[in-house]
Structure 1
Amino acid sequence: MLRHPWMLPTWALLGSLSAGCGASHSHVTWTEPPPRQEAIVERPPAAPAEPPAPSAVADPKAFAARYPNPALCEAAARRVQAESRDEGWAALKACIENTPFTQLNALLGRAWAEDLRVRPEGAALIARVVAQRGGSVTGELQTLQDRRIPIFSLSSAMDRPDTYKGRYVLLRARVADQRSEGERPTVWLVEQTLTSVETNAPVGYSERSDMLSSYSGDLDGQTQLSGPGRIGGTVTSRQREERTVTRKHYDNISDETGREALGRLPHADPFLENRRDYVILARFDGMRVTSGGTDGDEEAPRIPVLTIVSYYPPHPLVVY
């Protein structure tokens, strides 16, 4: 067996070299093994990355325009929600913001209950729907309370300011005045409520008739002053008759509740106009003593202070 030189002991290697003249030469060729050829594996070209699936509500207005009424739009948003909760919420917002959405019970239903609880814009969407339903805040707040939605009335907050401080309040109010208090504008709000006034409105059918009667003649008689004599003359009578078909009509009148508040804005808003009603969602910040009183005086008049979160003009027609 041939052994490589680097495997022989030193003395053996020297012995083989010294015996060399008379012996036949044995040539040992040290050759390096050929370089190992690595197999070349052809890898298939990487598949191009798939583009992200287009959003179902990439264009909110276009999404809402697909459906002839808000109820169908909300049903479509629930179908989108089954695929993606975020996409479903975006679809619902598109329905509320781009259609005359008045389906408050659908918004407060089981499908959207979790989103309303965890998403910060949920309260503002509720306020918007209340405004689109006509802004009858008193009745709508009762519906919210029945569903355990934490949005409360201004009167409740004023009665127990420590309990409701930091919570949402919803009110219908008229902007009486706006002033700047430091860098933040302050709005003077006068709370309003809706009352219904009944009137009789004609519906297009009426009758009218006039009658004129005239009588003339002489009258014989005797008076104490002039004695016997004759009196002549004419008697005329006029009669008018009218007939009109009417129908009862009810008008919604905004009336003051007697409660006022100061609303703070982060910056001046040109779209919040004086002498107009708005449905306002605000955070209740507590009560403040009005001018002329001191904080230690329990009898001093106080006014609630609110931070306005959002506001919406109420629709003139009320949905019941």
Structure 2
Amino acid sequence: MLRHSWMLPTWALLGSLAAGCGASHSHVTWTEEPPRREEAAVAKKSAAEEPHPPSALQDPKAFAARYPNPALCEAAARRLQGQSREEGWAGLKACIEYTPFTQLKALLGRAWAEDLRVRPEGASLIARVVAQRGGSVSGELQALQQQRIPIFSLSSAMDRPDTYKGRYVLLRAQVADQRTEGERPTVWLVEHSLSSVETNAPVGYGERSDTLSSYSGDLDGQTQFTGPGRIGGTVTNRQRTDRVATRRHFDNISDETGREALGRLPQADPFLETRRDYVILARFDGMRMMSGGADTEEEAPRIPVLTIVSYHPPHPLVVY
């Protein structure tokens, strides 16, 4: 009995051990704060390893390639403008040259108004965007004049040559001929306008049916010329029905306006092909007497003379 009095129950022994463990580790906390210095160092290292976006001045093509559409590219160029006006303008040029840029309203907005006014390449960028929008020059000139952009039509320059001499004109034209006068090559320009023509194009299922009816017999009677008698014969009736499903289709047609001009080039340009439409930006130099007319004749035929600044092939689709 004495031996058994020193033996404790198993559950009591476990309980005392648990209590002892709890007392010996009471200083341990399980919600320790993360090492902030290490996280800051890792974040700084990651930011340093990220490549910087390409500079629009150094690599304009790479700058434009970063954006999935022209609108985002123009917005990025506008953000750059706040840091550097030169960098922002280079970004805008990259967007126009390396993306299908048709955002004429954004280009003519307040952000780029000053650059378009003072930079010499501003008018050429506008002409390029007009070409990329399809080359509907007459409609685009209205938008330009609403924003007070000094680019005018060929017809206005021809009506008042003294007022528009030395100013920019924008026209859609084809080259009819190329010649060299002295040391400067000259092209004969035939102005065109863009219009839309509606047609019905057949699509889907077509149906066609033919019906043939034939009747035969004899007819008894009397006529004034032949008297009594019998007339025999056959009567045939034919009907034909066609059914075709059509859809309205609109085609862009380039037509001559009747106005022509002489365009001067600084040097011969093999890429300015004949019988092909171009959107042409030129400086109006005045009217010139055509061959065969006398200087004293008031009604002698005259032709406008232009100095070609830039030209751009128009996109086949028109952006409205």
TM-score higher than 0.5: yes
How do residues 225-236 of structure 1 correspond to structure 2 at under 5 angstroms? Answer: 225-236=225-236
Q: 2: distance between equivalents of 1:231 and 1:296? A: 87
> How far did 1:54 drift?
6.1
Q: 1: distance between equivalents of 2:260 and 2:163? A: 19
Q: 2: distance between equivalents of 1:67 and 1:207? A: 50
Paired position in structure 1 for 2:70 = 70
How do residues 242-253 of structure 1 correspond to structure 2 at under 5 angstroms? Answer: 242-253=242-253
2:162 is the alignment partner of 1:162: yes
How do residues 85-100 of structure 1 correspond to structure 2 at under 5 angstroms? Answer: 85-100=85-100
2:261 is the alignment partner of 1:267: no
Range 169-178 or range 60-69, more displaced = 60-69
Range 291-300 or range 192-201, more displaced = 291-300
Letter of the 1:125 counterpart: L
Paired position in structure 2 for 1:120 = 120
Q: 2: distance between equivalents of 1:267 and 1:206? A: 56
Paired position in structure 2 for 1:279 = 279
Paired position in structure 1 for 2:43 = none
CA contact (8 A) 2:202 2:247 kept: yes
> How far did 1:66 drift?
2.1
CA contact (8 A) 2:54 2:62 kept: no
2:136 is the alignment partner of 1:143: no
Q: 2: distance between equivalents of 1:204 and 1:264? A: 51
Cα distance per residue 1:248-290 (max 9 Å; x no partner): 2222211111111100000000000111111100001111111
Q: 2: distance between equivalents of 1:87 and 1:282? A: 28
> How far did 1:57 drift?
5.0
Q: 2: distance between equivalents of 1:166 and 1:278? A: 21
Letter of the 2:273 counterpart: E
Letter of the 2:143 counterpart: T
Range 152-161 or range 59-68, more displaced = 59-68
For residue 206 of structure 2, give the secondary structure of its aligned residue in structure 1: strand
Q: 1: distance between equivalents of 2:216 and 2:288? A: 82
Q: 1: distance between equivalents of 2:274 and 2:263? A: 13
Range 67-76 or range 110-119, more displaced = 67-76
Range 225-234 or range 108-117, more displaced = 225-234
Q: 1: distance between equivalents of 2:64 and 2:210? A: 59
Letter of the 1:228 counterpart: P
Paired position in structure 2 for 1:26 = none
Letter of the 1:297 counterpart: E
Unaligned runs of 5+ in 2: 1-51
Letter of the 1:223 counterpart: T
Paired position in structure 1 for 2:134 = 134
TM-score normalised over the length of structure 2 = 0.80
Paired position in structure 2 for 1:299 = 299
Q: 1: distance between equivalents of 2:53 and 2:239? A: 81
Q: 2: distance between equivalents of 1:298 and 1:251? A: 42
Cα distance per residue 1:282-304 (max 9 Å; x no partner): 00111111112233432221111
Paired position in structure 1 for 2:195 = 195
CA contact (8 A) 1:56 1:80 kept: no
Paired position in structure 2 for 1:176 = 176
2:101 is the alignment partner of 1:108: no
2:236 is the alignment partner of 1:215: no
For residue 186 of structure 2, give the secondary structure of its aligned residue in structure 1: strand
Range 225-234 or range 310-319, more displaced = 225-234
Equivalent pairs counted in the alignment come to 269
Letter of the 2:186 counterpart: T
Between Structure 1 and Structure 2, which shows a larger proportion of helix residues?
Answer: 2
CA contact (8 A) 2:56 2:94 kept: no
Cα distance per residue 1:77-130 (max 9 Å; x no partner): 112222221111111111111111111001100111111111110000000011
Range 193-202 or range 288-297, more displaced = 288-297
| Structure label with greater radius of gyration | 1
> How far did 1:319 drift?
1.1
| Misfit runs of 4+, over 4 Å | none
2:62 is the alignment partner of 1:59: no
Q: 2: distance between equivalents of 1:56 and 1:73? A: 11
Assess, with a 3 A threshold, how the Cα gap between structure 1 residues 57 and 207 changes in structure 2: closer, same or farther: farther
Paired position in structure 1 for 2:186 = 186
CA contact (8 A) 1:161 1:286 kept: yes
Q: 1: distance between equivalents of 2:56 and 2:128? A: 23
Q: CA RMSD in A?
A: 1.8
